[in-house]
Chains A and B, each alone.
Chain A
Amino acid sequence: MTIEDRPLLSRVAESVYWMARYIERAENVARFIGVNLHLQLDLEGDSVNQWESLVDTSGDAAVFRERYGEATQSSVLQFLVFDQENPNSIYSCLRSGRENARSVRETISSEMWEQINTMYLRMQAQKSSLDFESVPEFFRDLRFSCHLFQGITDTTMTHSEPWHFLRMGRKLERADKSSRMLDVKYFMLLPSLSDVNTPIDDIHWSAVLKSVSGFEMYRKKYGRLVPRDIVAFLVLDKEFPRAIRYCVHSADQSLRAITGTANGSFAYRSEQLMGRLHADLDFTSVDSVLRDGLHEFLDRLQAKLNTIDDHIQSEFFARGI
């Protein structure tokens, strides 16, 4: 699959890529929070601070502690949803996503623009107040709005080069967020390797699956909740759309559609790295991942995703090629 049609401005490619990443990021933050809220109802009085772990997932824990101190429901919601100074809050993600969309309105479809603009305006109208009853509804709506945006994107925009940059951004972001979610929860829940094959019916593990909308799909495939199988499902599944391997697979596909390079070879460094990561995930077994340490594995994976992003940046977006 090669793309031979009209040239794509580097600046536009970059904006489209980031637009997708920001919307995906907003959706993931909404997912994490939504599940946490749910979990909290089941874990009255539990010693583990769920809100603390949510801040860890976001990757901005240091900034949070400096600005807010203790992690409570209200401080974490404020930080992750409304804080305009936190570049990864939902508000900031929607604002940045929209700014990027606005700069490429002529490239995306009008319907996409209208949806992203509506999401932003609604968020703006919400300002910084969420009364307790409207909280679950708010996150549910936000998730659906993001899904709607993706549906509109895939059905109204030609699947040519700009769309592939968009999809690549979305999938890389999703792979990164899925890995963070798993990493934080795994570290917290299962420090000892010996428990890995024990069936559990832990509310935390179902929460992890629910946060990536994977609970039902997991049940269909594996039935019982077994940590090893959950890791296999979230990291190495070939068919589940939020599994890391699936995400890297589609990002790789889009990158090849953009460059036109044949399978089994590469013309860009980003392609080489993405292809390697893809192959790694294809030929890795869950047992070896667990044996070598899931945390170490996910850590390396996130570093690889970052390096790929850097190379995409310099090979396709940089000015003055």
Chain B
Amino acid sequence: MWGYSIAKSQSIVYDQNDRTIINYVLEQEPSLRTCMACGGCTSTCSAGNLVPFNIRRLNTLLQRGEYSQVKKEIYNCMLCGKCTIVCPRGVNIRNVVLKTREAIMNSEKSDANDTNAI
């Protein structure tokens, strides 16, 4: 609807982003903090070589609180675990994916509850 749409900001407005999901993921899998974005995970990724799925980028977006891309792509992961095996920083990336899915599921549940309450 033309009149109501607000142009989406081209920058990451860090302070406006909701941090519930990433806070949960970091609490459950703190190893994510040590990522140095080398891209080894994405490079070896069985999924990323076939379909749109860049786990390194998703993890970076996640940490900035930018979820729309994450929500779109996170289910493309096949959980094969290669990323976790190659990660030079020992990030348990496979569990990051699972925890992200869990956090998204929980946030959608609580959104649904909020809507019901209204």
Answer yes or no: do A and B interact.
no
User: Using a CB–CB distance below 8 Å, which chain B residues touch chain A?
Assistant: none
